[in-house]
Amino acid sequence: MLGGLGGSFRHARSATGLLRLLLVLSLIVPSAVFAFVTLQGRALLLDNATNRTTRMAELLAQQAAATFDGYNVAFSRIEEHLLHTEGQFQEKMLHEYLSDLDRDMRSVDSIAVIDEKGAAVAHSRYFPVPRTYLGDREYIQNATPATRDRPGPLQGRDGLVIGLPVKSRISGKVVLLASRARHEIPGAANGTLVMAISQQYFEEFYRTLALTKSDRVALIRADTRVLAQIPAAPGRPSIDPEQMGSLGPITTATASEIGIRQLTDGTIDYVSPIDGARRISGFRKVDDYPVYVEVGFSVDNVLAPWRSQALINLVITAIATLLLFSVARMALVKSRDEAAMQSRLLAEEHQRLEAESALRQAQKMEALGQLTGGIAHDFNNMLNIILVNLELAAKRLTDRRPDDLERVDGYVKGATQGAERGVALTRRLLAFAHRKEDEDPVVVQPSDLVVGVLDLLGQAAGSKVRITLDAPRGLRPIRVDPNELETALLNLVVNARDAMSEGGRIQISVREEGRMVVLSVKDTGHGMDAEMLKRATEPFFTTKESGKGSGLGLSMVERFATQSGGSLRLDSQPGAGTTAEIRLPAAST
């Protein structure tokens, strides 16, 4: 049983260690899953935002290219109109033509024709046009015919140039200046065609994309100057009143000033120094024009759904972690309590076994005490024999008669034999009293064991009791603790002796019954009634007089038989004696 408790204790300790690991995992695993899911969700949203900026920038680049192609078409129509005049310039007729063309184009604020000297010669909104010098304007200089065959960095398809934003004095709106050098027209002076394009046209179109206030869409020239953007750039300087004509310049931001280091097709992640917003922006070049489209999504807006979901996931993770931790902790506490209980039980079982061992030794000593009382008379007889023989030997030696020497030798031999019998009996008693209690069960031959202890049993029974033995050889062996079996037999013989105060007969037998080996002790004593027989094996129950028995003999015999895999069977009737049978399983061979 002690081994079983030890195994249970080791199992409880092992379970406690496993539950400690589960307690740690209940904190780590949900947190790891939360971190993985959260980071994956964030990465997915950022990837989606990157793909959206790319697709949207491509669409806006196609729209801008179509718009700029329209301006080139308009310029080509003006050139064709000038060609039909066959070199005879008529401002009135050109003004009317430009006005019609102006009205047909929703994004155009005004159209002007500039001669080779940089002076305005026709305008869609003025007639006659003021003779204003515009040759020093950047949109005129960048569109000079001398660079038409070798387009400069700011010239696009067919030499089209997109100028910087200015404020129109005609409409009061901010406009972009699209210009193109006049192609060779026979009989006509060369110059530049200029078209004022409404910046609002692009901004309103960009606003239809349903972006948030923190997102950004911009039209940027190849020299990194911003042409149009939403949200609008903070603050614009006023118009220079000294500027002549309908147009005044506006200072514009460069791409580098808003956090963009270079313009190229692709996607970048940057933080704007103007508003501190972090954006994922996609850039696409507008076909063959020196212009780029930027579509930037605010990372804060992109990650807003992720933050909400992350908060929900955090709450779920916290609840799951708390539940798992609580369950694991309760299981750990229970396991620790069970381990502590198993430890206490193990200690109690160890103490109990020690107490039982001490009790068995005490019972053995009690039986030994009863045994010594029974053999005291035999010891006295042995000592008398020794003394008588020694006295006779001494008398013969005193008389010194030669014929007495032979008799003296016989007296000495008789004394020696009596002493040897006493020594043998004493050795047998000491061996029984001091035999170790912790012997492991071994395979023994039951008949040999009973025969070996028969002399001791006879001494315990006393001279008034006759012992007969029926122990045939060849019986199957049994696996028992020999010392405990001898003690059990001694207890049964002592009980039988005490039940026959006037003397009687004890029959000891060994036999096989099926797979069991039966050791039987039968007496001719006064026997027991049914009530006494029912309580006979109860600890401390005895029918003997006070001081003549502890009531533990049959209890210890029954415990020995049970622990050895067998049983104790009692059969008794008043006046017919008692039969006690120790039934033990035969050992496998």
Residue 410, pLDDT above cutoff 70 = no
Structural domains in the chain plus CATH codes: 43-302 (3.30.450.20), 439-589 (3.30.565.10)
Residue 505, pLDDT above cutoff 90 = yes
Cα separation, 332 vs 338, whole angstroms:
10
Question: Is the whole-model pTM more than 0.85?
Answer: no
The pLDDT assigned to 240 comes to 36
The pLDDT assigned to 585 comes to 93
Identify which of 52-66, 173-187, 535-549 has the greatest average pLDDT.
52-66
Reduce the secondary structure of 73-86 to three states and give it as a string: HHHHHHHHHHHHCC
Strand, coil or helix: what is 237?
coil
The pLDDT assigned to 2 comes to 46
Cα separation, 160 vs 226, whole angstroms:
17
- Kindly report, residue by residue over 381-399, the tens digit of the pLDDT: 556 556 656 766 666 666 6
Task: Identify the band that residue 409 occupies on the pLDDT scale cut at 50, 70 and 90.
Answer: low
The pLDDT assigned to 32 comes to 80
Residue 359, pLDDT above cutoff 90 = no
Tokens of 515: 């797979």
- The mean per-residue pLDDT over the stretch 186-213 comes to 77
- The mean per-residue pLDDT over the stretch 154-171 comes to 80
Residue 15, pLDDT above cutoff 70 = no
Q: Which of 179-193, 231-245, 437-451, 486-500 has the lowest mean pLDDT?
A: 231-245
Q: Which of 46-55, 123-132, 158-167 has the lowest mean pLDDT?
A: 123-132
Question: H or E segment at 230?
Answer: strand 226-230
Residue 69, pLDDT above cutoff 80 = yes
Cα separation, 116 vs 133, whole angstroms:
11
Instruction: Count the Cβ atoms, other than its own, within 10 Å of residue 366.
Output: 17
- Kindly report, residue by residue over 122-161, the tens digit of the pLDDT: 888 878 877 777 777 777 777 775 444 556 677 888 888 8
The pLDDT assigned to 566 comes to 92
Residue 279, pLDDT above cutoff 70 = yes
The pLDDT assigned to 242 comes to 32
Task: Identify the band that residue 363 occupies on the pLDDT scale cut at 50, 70 and 90.
Answer: low
Amino acid at 310: A
Give the residue, 27 or 453, on which the prediction is more confident: 453
- The mean per-residue pLDDT over the stretch 312-326 comes to 79
Between helix 91-104 and helix 2-84 the angle, nearest 10°, is 160
Strand, coil or helix: what is 227?
strand
Residue 258, pLDDT above cutoff 60 = no
Residue 506, pLDDT above cutoff 90 = yes
Beta bridge partners of residue 269, listed in sequence order: 280
Amino acid at 65: A
The pLDDT assigned to 588 comes to 79
Tokens of 378: 């035999």
Burial of 249 (0-12, 13-18, 19+ CB in 10 A): middle
Residue 245, pLDDT above cutoff 50 = no
- Kindly report, residue by residue over 464-486, the tens digit of the pLDDT: 899 999 999 889 999 998 888 88
